[in-house]
C-alpha cells in the first residue's frame, strides 16, 4: 500500500477543517495549480461546471499528483457517476439534492462496497494513482472514501436527521444558494440570508449530534472563516473562475496606463 494517500478522510477523522478549492472550468491544469497553491482538497464540479468524464479523470490525477485530495460533485440524480469517479481515484463525492433517506441510501449504495453499499469492483485508476492492490483498496475503501450529501431544500432539512443516520453517509454539505431559493419559494437568491443562517446552525448541530461532518460552500474567505468558526469542517471555497477574475482584475488595476 506504499504511496496510498487518501488524505481527506484522514484529515476529517483527525478533526481538521479542510478547505477545498472549487473548479468549474473543466481545465485539469487549473485544478492542479489550485492544489499546488496549498489547498488540501480540490473539488471538480460536474453538476454546474464544464467537467466531462474525460476531464474529470485527468483532473483527479492532476490534483492527486499535486498532493491534494480530489473531490467530485456529480450531476443531479446520476448515481452511476458516483462509483465511476471513485474508480478514477476521487477521495470524496458530493451528491446534490439529497432530499430523503431513500436518496441518501442510493447515494451510499453507489459509493460504498458491501456490506454497507452495492458498489461494484473496478477502481483501475484509483489503484494506479495510489499504488495499491485491489484487495487492499476494497478492505479500506468504505473508510477512506468520503460521501457528502448536499442539503439544499426544505424537504432535506425536514429529513436531515434521517439523512445523517443513513449508513454510508459521512457528511452533509450546505448548498446556500439553492437553499435560499427553496426557503423563499424562489423569491430570493441570497446565500447569506437570515433563513440560510438559521439553517446553518440547524445543520451544524444535527451533524455534531450524529457524529458526522458538516460542510458547506462559501463564496469567499470571509464566509469560509465564519462557517469554520461555526463548526463546519469541509468547506468548498469560491471557484476557479473567481480566482482568475480576481487575479486579472488586480493586475489590470495596478497597471500604469
Which residues are designated catalytic? 48
DSSP letters along 132-190, please?
Answer: --HHHHHHHHHHHSEEEEEE-SHHHHHTHHHHHTSTT--EEEE-HHHHHHHHTTTS---
Cross-strand partners of 42: 21, 70
Name the grid cell of 100: 430523503
How far apart, in whole angstroms, are the C-alpha atoms of residue 184 and residue 171? Answer: 25
71, 44 contact by CB (below 8 A): yes
What are the Cα distances from residue 131, in Å, to 2, 4, 5, 83, 88?
6, 6, 9, 19, 13
Amino acid at each position: 500500500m506504499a504511496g496510498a494517500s487518501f488524505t481527506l478522510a484522514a484529515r476529517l477523522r483527525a478533526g481538521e477543517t479542510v478547505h477545498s478549492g472549487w473548479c468549474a472550468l473543466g481545465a485539469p491544469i487549473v485544478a492542479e495549480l489550485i492544489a499546488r497553491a496549498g489547498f488540501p482538497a480540490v473539488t471538480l464540479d460536474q453538476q454546474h461546471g464544464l467537467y466531462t468524464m474525460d476531464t474529470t479523470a485527468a483532473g483527479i490525477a492532476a490534483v492527486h499528483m499535486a498532493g491534494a485530495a480530489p473531490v467530485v460533485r456529480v450531476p443531479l440524480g446520476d448515481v452511476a457517476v458516483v462509483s465511476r469517479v471513485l474508480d478514477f481515484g476521487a477521495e470524496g463525492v458530493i451528491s446534490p439534492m439529497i432530499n430523503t433517506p431513500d436518496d441518501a441510501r442510493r447515494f451510499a449504495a453507489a459509493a460504498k462496497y458491501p456490506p454497507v453499499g452495492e458498489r461494484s469492483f473496478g477502481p483501475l485508476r484509483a489503484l494506479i494513482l495510489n499504488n495499491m492492490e485491489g484487495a487492499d483498496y476494497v478492505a479500506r475503501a468504505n473508510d477512506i472514501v468520503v460521501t457528502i450529501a448536499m442539503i439544499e431544500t426544505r424537504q432535506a432539512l425536514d429529513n436531515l436527521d434521517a439523512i445523517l443516520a443513513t449508513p454510508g453517509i459521512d457528511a452533509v454539505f450546505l448548498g446556500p444558494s439553492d437553499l435560499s431559493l427553496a426557503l423563499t419559494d424562489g423569491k430570493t437568491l441570497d446565500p447569506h440570508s437570515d433563513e440560510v443562517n438559521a439553517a446553518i446552525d440547524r445543520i451544524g448541530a444535527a451533524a455534531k449530534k450524529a457524529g458526522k461532518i458538516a460542510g458547506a460552500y462559501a463564496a469567499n474567505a470571509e464566509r469560509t472563516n465564519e462557517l469554520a468558526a461555526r463548526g463546519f469542517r469541509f468547506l468548498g471555497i469560491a471557484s476557479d473562475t473567481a480566482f482568475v477574475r480576481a487575479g486579472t482584475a488586480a493586475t489590470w488595476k495596478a497597471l500604469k496606463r
